[in-house]
Structure 1
Amino acid sequence: MSKEINPSLMKSLTLAYMGDVIYEKYVREYIIQKGEVKPQALHTMAVSFVSAKAQSYVLHRFLDDGLLTEQEEAIVRRGRNAKSNVPKNTDPQTYRYSTAFEALIGYLYLNEEFERLDYLVFQAILDLEERR
């Protein structure tokens, strides 16, 4: 049974929930394609891409570079302003921006904007690789 969903009407934390898994999938595929096979190295590399700090950094780059559409910026604002419990290992602002990044990824995925999703995720990965 298929149910029609409208990502524009979904709660930001629901979008972020989906975005978290989608972004991690892209990152894991990227790391494996680079040839890394040791489980601990895979995990360490993945964390460097999916941490709240890394996601916040990427989203700030996207915003500073004017990379997002008005609709995407609206999703980011909603995600950034979503009420959630901030983990002890990160500051609230970093966590809010990482949640906004994940909400954007979840929105694009659920809205089936796969070409745009690919572009932004690969841009994120390139930005983080340059930073390393």
Structure 2
Amino acid sequence: MEKNADYQQMNGIALAYMGDGIYEVFVRKHLLVQGLTRPTQLHHQATHYVSAKAQAFLIDKMTENDILTEEEVDYFKRGRNAKSHTSAKNTSVITYRISTGFEALFGYLFLSNQNDRLAELAKWCIDTVEKENLNGTTKK
């Protein structure tokens, strides 16, 4: 019998650890559905969706469009404010912390079994990356 993780007691870094993997699965599935199959091509395209800069941009857009609930904002802040023992690679500390909050939000949604909301936000993020041309392809 699988034991459920108590997401309410989890620190922001643990939530972000889970959320990083969950968001990446949505992005990978999206890229495969688009017909991309070569590993280098998949990796290159995926970074446009999952980079710290893209995730920080998406949080700004979510805030701008008032998309997140109060509870979702709380979990984002839990991740953003968490003390990380790793440092940002190729980005500022602030951007890295915001992206950690983004990932914590996805971890919270997954661990609290809010699968419809999780899929809705993931789709919104992927669509927003493409609409804003962050994925390096021509706008549709």
2:13 maps to 13
2:53 maps to 53
Structure 1 unpaired stretches of 5+:
none
The sequence identity of aligned pairs, in percent, is: 43
Q: Does 1:108 align with 2:122?
A: no
Structure 2 residue identity aligned to 1:111: S
Shift of 1:8: 1.5
Q: Deviations over 1:13-39 (max 9, x none)?
A: 000000001111110000000011122
1:131 maps to 132
Q: TM-score of the superposition, structure 1-length normalised? A: 0.95
CA distance in 2, matches of 1:115, 1:88: 32
Aligned positions, number: 132
2:99 maps to 98
Shift of 1:126: 0.6
CA distance in 1, matches of 2:88, 2:63: 24
Q: Which structure shows the higher helix fraction?
A: 1
1:39 maps to 39
Shift of 1:41: 1.0
